[in-house]
Amino acid sequence: MFIAPFFSFIDVFPIIKIGVGHMRKEFFSVPNILTYLRILLIPFFLYAYYCVDNGTIRFYSMIILFISAITDFLDGFIARRYKQITSIGKLLDPIADKLYELVLALVLMKDYPLFKYILFLFIAENAMLLGFGFYIFKKKGVHLDGAHLPGKIATALFFIFSLLMITFNIKDTLISRVMSISLLISVGVATIYYFRRLWNLLVESKVYEKLDE
């Protein structure tokens, strides 16, 4: 979650062509099991946040998020180190990231009003990447090659700031406003950047088509 590329759904389009039988063989690899665990921790986080933690420091919520971050790091490390990168992992890992981003934004909206705008940008950007990105991949056979710097910066800021805001009661403070505004700007920049990249892919693919004629 904390290490994975921002909006890495852009990597899943080539997976569409992978057969179901092949995906079943990959289902129980160690990195994928860690991803399942990360997803299963979401309801425990929500329970800890709303039903257990009620002090100045939300200790249990912080611990669960920390464990989630560790599993995210380990699944990527093990997959690369031991060559266990799988098609299903490429699909599930960004799904887990998106679920955490959605849950954290929804949780923080109550105490930090700017997060409703951040959530809107998340939804808009993911819809753009999935919709527009899939259209380009289907029509032209090209897709964005992994996450880029604006997206990586935005995802890093999101999870660092979210962890701080969830762990400590800093609502209605100057630092929380600065973090919210910084995050809103970084997500907005990433959204514009990815739209321009997708648009350039579409234009470039049309140019190459004309040259091949």
Three-state secondary structure readout of 159-183? HHHHHHHHHECCCCCHHHHHHHHHH
State whether residue 57 is helix, strand or coil.
strand
pLDDT value at position 87?
A: 76
Lowest average pLDDT, out of 98-107, 129-138, 201-210, goes to 201-210
pLDDT value at position 68?
A: 92
Topology of domain 8-212, per CATH?
A: Four Helix Bundle (Hemerythrin (Met), subunit A) (1.20.120)
The pTM for the full model equals 0.77
pLDDT value at position 138?
A: 79
Taking alpha carbons only, the member of 181, 123, 189, 125 closest to residue 153 is: 189
pLDDT value at position 203?
A: 83
Return d(Cα 56, Cα 128) in angstroms, integer: 38
Share of the chain above pLDDT 70, in %: 82
67 or 28: which leads in pLDDT:
67
pLDDT at 2 over 50: no
Per-residue pLDDT reduced to its tens digit, 180-195:
999 999 999 999 998 8
Return d(Cα 103, Cα 97) in angstroms, integer: 10
State the average pLDDT for the chain.
82
pLDDT value at position 84?
A: 84
The average pLDDT across 80-96 equals: 83
Lowest average pLDDT, out of 1-10, 60-69, 168-177, goes to 1-10
pLDDT value at position 131?
A: 85
pLDDT value at position 3?
A: 36
Give the E-state strand segments of the chain in sequence order. none
Per-residue pLDDT reduced to its tens digit, 125-174:
888 888 887 888 777 777 666 667 888 898 889 989 999 999 888 988 99
